[in-house]
Structure 1
Amino acid sequence: MTERRVTVGWAEGLHARPASVFVRAATSLGVPVTIARPDGPGPVNAASMLGVLSLGAKGGQEVVLASAADDAGPALDRLAKLVAEGLEALPDA
């Protein structure tokens, strides 16, 4: 299992629009990824909008991204950057 721990950099946390951007990115990666709050519910499928919203991750909270896929490192790095930096992490933002 490969993991990345990252602090949510979106001021509003992972809800509504930020969660939608995150879920689209997770879906596009082609590897199964979960996201969890160490102090809360989870893990949930990172490609599930309802799952991500159910975490209630707020700005400044830590989340754990994980995958059992052999080639998950680059995918997790990309998602971790998106969670930490928000839209600034997207190439066309």
Structure 2
Amino acid sequence: MTTIEKKVVVKNKMGLHARPAALFVQAANKFDSDITVIKDNQEVNGKSIMGVLMLAAEKDSIIIINATGKDAQEAVIELEKIAAADDLDNIFRKSASPSLRAAVSKHTIKRR
């Protein structure tokens, strides 16, 4: 079994908040590998939206993405791109599934 681990600096100005976390989890769930994310010694399941949100990873936070399984390398590469992207809201609008966009929009507080 292959295990890959990568330190990543979160670059999105709002960190891994609702939309970016949803995109991260959606991507993580495409892989067969077990995926964990670590921040400040707190380890969560990278395929769980609640887990990723509980990390409260703000801009410039350092997270560790760990994947174990046959597609671990591919998983870490894709998840690193998401975590290190500086404009995840635009990426979310373009690539998240329609049902995921609807679910997140429904639960996102609108700013006036």
- Counterpart of 2:24 in structure 1 is 22
Write out aligned runs for 1:38-53 (5 A): 39-42=40-43, 44-53=44-53
**Paired letter, 1:56:** A
Structure 1 alignment gaps of length 5 or more: none
Give the TM-score normalised by structure 1: 0.84
4+ long deviations beyond 4 Å = none
> Which secondary structure state, in structure 2, belongs to the residue aligned with residue 58 of structure 1?
coil
Q: CA RMSD in A?
A: 1.9
User: How far does the alpha carbon of each residue in 1:17-56 deviate from its partner, in whole angstroms, 9 at most, with x for none?
Assistant: 111111111111232211011x2421x1111011001111
Structure 2 alignment gaps of length 5 or more: 96-112
For residues 68 and 40 of structure 1, the distance between their equivalents in structure 2, rounded to whole angstroms, comes to: 19
**Paired letter, 1:82:** I
- How many residues in Structure 1 have an aligned counterpart in Structure 2? 90
For residues 62 and 45 of structure 1, the distance between their equivalents in structure 2, rounded to whole angstroms, comes to: 16
**Paired letter, 2:52:** V
- Counterpart of 2:13 in structure 1 is 11
> Which secondary structure state, in structure 2, belongs to the residue aligned with residue 33 of structure 1?
strand
Return the index of the structure with the highest Cα Rg. 2
Structure 2 contact 33–70 (Cα < 8 Å) conserved: no
Structure 1 contact 81–89 (Cα < 8 Å) conserved: no
For residues 3 and 10 of structure 1, the distance between their equivalents in structure 2, rounded to whole angstroms, comes to: 21
- Counterpart of 1:34 in structure 2 is 36
**Paired letter, 2:42:** P
For residues 82 and 46 of structure 1, the distance between their equivalents in structure 2, rounded to whole angstroms, comes to: 12
